Structure 1
Amino acid sequence: MNPDHVMRRVRAEEWPSVKELRLFALQDPAAPVAFLETYRSAVGRPDAFWQQRAAGGAEGTDVAQFVAEAADGRWLGSVTVLVERPDREGVFGGEAEGVQGHLVGVFVRPEVRGTGLTEALFRAAEEWAFGLDDPYLTRLRLFVHEDNPRAAAFYRRYGFVPSGSTVPVPDRPEEREVEMVRERR
């Protein structure tokens, strides 16, 4: 554990920090290929939206948001795990069976990229997801834009591999996102 920062789950009352970090992330130069939301659409959301988002990531076993918090209290990055259960046919719209965790909202501030912080966030998310007994997760997945090689390279280094599935980017069907998965060990 790095004494300069801790990885932890958000708390519901921290919605202003959830909002601040998300809006900052949406202004990053990579945001158009990293997120399915724009700064313009997010900045106008009411406080109730951010309160609900923080509360959802704070408790329960369906969603968990993790932050990297500096010793001075500043949030350096975040990742969220969504627990996905299969549909009636036993699939998620792809090939997987069972319950899986879907990593979304991956972001670290530019000044801490390449320091191991993203790996630490992923470990926290993975430990939580694979530590669940009910639901029992069989794998983690994420989607990376075809034009985001830096993120794809990190995910590969962390053990994610392309599943062979791609999906169109919402509202931009000419662009694709590649599904990457990491099986439970």
Structure 2
Amino acid sequence: MRYDYVVRAIRPEEWAEVKQLRLDALRDPVAHLAFLDSYEEAAGRADAFWQDRAVGSGEGGTAARQFIAEAADGTWVGSATVLIEEAGTKDWAGCAVECRQGHVVGVYVRPEHRGNGLIKALFDAGVEWARERGAERVRLFVHEDNARAQSAYRKAGFVPSGVIVPFVKDAAQNELEYVLDLRP
């Protein structure tokens, strides 16, 4: 089956759809490797949390942008969010941020829409947005055991940087940094 998609930034008023897609993502069998929160945590958050999230990462947001893939029938089938990290700051793991960069988080594609290049389309939109904001590179972290995601990220042009950080949920496991250099 062939699908047609529109990849676009979310709109602030679409907070309920943002919430539903995140809850669906957290039901995925590898969610425990891919996301830092659980379904129960996310489902328990007040609507104000989701409204704030949609405003902060929707059209017009300056420090973050969430992109969704929308099928022809209007169904949201995938998402990726890009955060802008400033040189001279510390990242979530306490490491120095050496250059202005995009950081991709919250990547999800519904199972029936995987394997057709949709991740790359989401990343292309996010990378372009980061580039327009002066990012020198875009990065993401992926769990060492999430081979499916690692393969998708390589196909989208990201490569392992060699940086390894302990997995937030279990320090005995690791996350691997993948990067896409945007410098000419």
Give the TM-score taking structure 1 as reference length.
Answer: 0.91
User: 1:155 maps to which residue?
Assistant: 153
> What are the superposed Cα offsets for residues 8-43 of structure 1, whole Å, 9 maximum, x if unpaired?
000010000000000000000010111111111111
User: 1:103 maps to which residue?
Assistant: 104
Q: Does 1:131 align with 2:129?
A: no
Superposed displacement of residue 171, structure 1: 3.1
User: 1:21 maps to which residue?
Assistant: 21
Q: Matches of 1:97 and 1:167 in 2, distance apart?
A: 16
After the TM superposition, which parts of structure 1 deviate over 6 Å for at least 4 consecutive aligned residues? none
Superposed displacement of residue 60, structure 1: 2.4
Superposed displacement of residue 3, structure 1: 8.0
1:165 maps to which of 163, 166, 182: 163
Q: Percent identity between the aligned chains?
A: 54
What is the number of residues matched between the two proteins? 179
User: 2:139 maps to which residue?
Assistant: 141
Conserved 8 A contact 2:88-2:96:
no
Q: Which amino acid aligns with 2:113?
A: V
1:49-64 equivalences in 2 (<5 Å)? 49-58=49-58, 59-64=60-65
Conserved 8 A contact 2:6-2:69:
yes
> Matched residue of 2:19: which SS?
helix
Q: Does 1:176 align with 2:174?
A: yes
Q: Matches of 2:61 and 2:28 in 1, distance apart?
A: 30
User: 1:10 maps to which residue?
Assistant: 10
Q: Which amino acid aligns with 2:11?
A: R
Deviates more, 1:112-121 or 1:140-149: 112-121
Q: Matches of 1:77 and 1:137 in 2, distance apart?
A: 23
Q: Which amino acid aligns with 1:4?
A: D
Conserved 8 A contact 1:84-1:101:
yes
> What are the superposed Cα offsets for residues 29-72 of structure 1, whole Å, 9 maximum, x if unpaired?
01011111111111100000000111111122200000001122
Q: Matches of 1:37 and 1:143 in 2, distance apart?
A: 15
Q: Which amino acid aligns with 1:48?
A: A
Structure 1 residues 114, 52: CA separation in 2 closer, same or farther (over 3 Å shift)? same
Conserved 8 A contact 2:86-2:97:
no
Give the TM-score taking structure 2 as reference length.
Answer: 0.91
Q: Matches of 2:22 and 2:168 in 1, distance apart?
A: 19
Deviates more, 1:48-57 or 1:157-166: 157-166
Conserved 8 A contact 2:88-2:97:
no
Instruction: List runs of 5+ in structure 1 lacking aligned partners.
Output: none
User: 1:41 maps to which residue?
Assistant: 41
> Matched residue of 1:127: which SS?
helix
